[in-house]
Amino acid sequence: MASKKEPIERESLPYAKHWIRPEDIEAVDEVLRSDWLTTGPKVAEFERAVAAFVKARHGVAVSSGTAALHAAMYAADIGPGDEVIVPAITFVATANAVVYQGGTPVFGDVEPDTLLLDPHDVAERITPKTRAIVPVDFAGQPVNYDAFSDLAEDHDLLLLGDSCHALGAEYQGRRIGTLADLTVFSFHPAKHVTTGEGGMVVGDDASMAERMRAFRNHGITQGPRDRMESGTWYYELADLGYNLRITDFQCALGLSQLKRLPQLLDRRQDLAQHYDEALGRLEGVFPLTRKEDRRHANHLYVVRFDAGKSKRQQAFDVLAQKGVSANVHYIPVHLQPFYRTRFGTERGLCPRAEAAYEQILTLPLFPGMSHSDVDYVVQALGEVVASS
């Protein structure tokens, strides 16, 4: 990878960007010329490929990561009166999926140095109504799966992993995908592998997979392809579902992208290491802590400013002037107007998440970046904070 010393002026540097190659375009083109545009052979092939990659028995592909979370909540039989613990720092979809099913999200606080859901805090929020825990492998770093598995076992809860940041990540040598009862991935363009929009739930339980297959197709227990192959017009609406289907050409894109995942993870890791080294020369800005026993998927590169809010705002503004789009992941979900109004969640509920929110900034990280792009970002930050 080229590593120029002199940063060059750039038109713009987004915080994330998809990586489309000519072979991806060919793969989609081929499906567009075939007999199946929506649910066809590529959907099943993509499900098998992702499930095989993470060593899970089943994969159910749907129209988005959010739809995958929704289907997982359905498979877990979450409903009115049920509480589901989610982290305060995550994308709103993690909590929204609980609400779609009529459940109540309970926000857990995060560890200050990793922003991962803290199992000790979760333990204190478990009540007789708690049915599931949904940890998020924030930024691409796996949560403490041993601690969450123990909690789930002790309290008879389901563990549903929102691993939308963590395709290809590993916890103590085990790949994310079988460490929870169900694991959810997103194929949004900002994520590791994209299908434009798309998502998947993976897991080992056959009956949960079966339920989700019906759920993504209105609740009908036989798909059009099954009907055609078995030569029957009969179908049954067993329960209420939705149209959460993903198309065959999207799955062709996903299959093509998945082949480059190992290469993609290496590139992200290399760029993150370069950030770590370059930021080591600045004072007052720190990357999140990386745990030794985990392989980080490096979805987001998040830093904290120890001087807080004003420095973070200054850094955001200076980067914007230089064409660099930084971002903030995330505004604590319990502070969003919808949750405050509907569930009465207020400031003070998750103090560590609220404090971290004042300090965090996400710097650009995507496979098409070079070392000199990283140097350019870090040099701009150097105008805001002192260097050692």
Ligand X SMILES: *Cc1c(COP(=O)(O)O)cnc(C)c1O
Interacting residues toward ligand X by CB under 6 A: 64-66, 90-91, 93-94, 136, 162, 164-165, 186, 188, 199
State the nearest-atom distance from the C-beta of 98 to ligand X, in Å.
12
On the 0-12 / 13-18 / 19+ scale of CB atoms within 10 A, 250 is: buried
Tokens at residue 345, please? 């969640």
State the nearest-atom distance from the C-beta of 199 to ligand X, in Å.
5
Q: Are 128 and 303 in contact (CB under 8 A)?
A: no
State the nearest-atom distance from the C-beta of 55 to ligand X, in Å.
22
State the nearest-atom distance from the C-beta of 353 to ligand X, in Å.
14
Closest CB to ligand X among 167 and 315?
167
Q: Which of 300, 347, 345 is nearest to 326 (CA)?
A: 300
Beta strands in the chain (DSSP E): 58-62, 83-87, 104-108, 130-133, 158-162, 170-171, 174-175, 182-186, 199-203, 285-287, 294-295, 301-305, 360-363
Closest CB to ligand X among 40 and 65?
65
Residue bearing tokens 């062709």: 252
Instruction: List, by residue number, the catalytic residues.
Output: 191
Closest CB to ligand X among 76 and 381?
76
Q: Which of 227, 224, 278, 216 is nearest to 66 (CA)?
A: 216
Tokens at residue 13, please? 């540097």
Closest CB to ligand X among 50 and 282?
50
Closest CB to ligand X among 90 and 178?
90
Q: Are 136 and 90 in contact (CB under 8 A)?
A: yes
Output the residue with the shortest Cβ distance to ligand X. 65
State the nearest-atom distance from the C-beta of 185 to ligand X, in Å.
9
Q: d(Cα 223, Cα 264) in Å, to the nearest integer?
A: 34
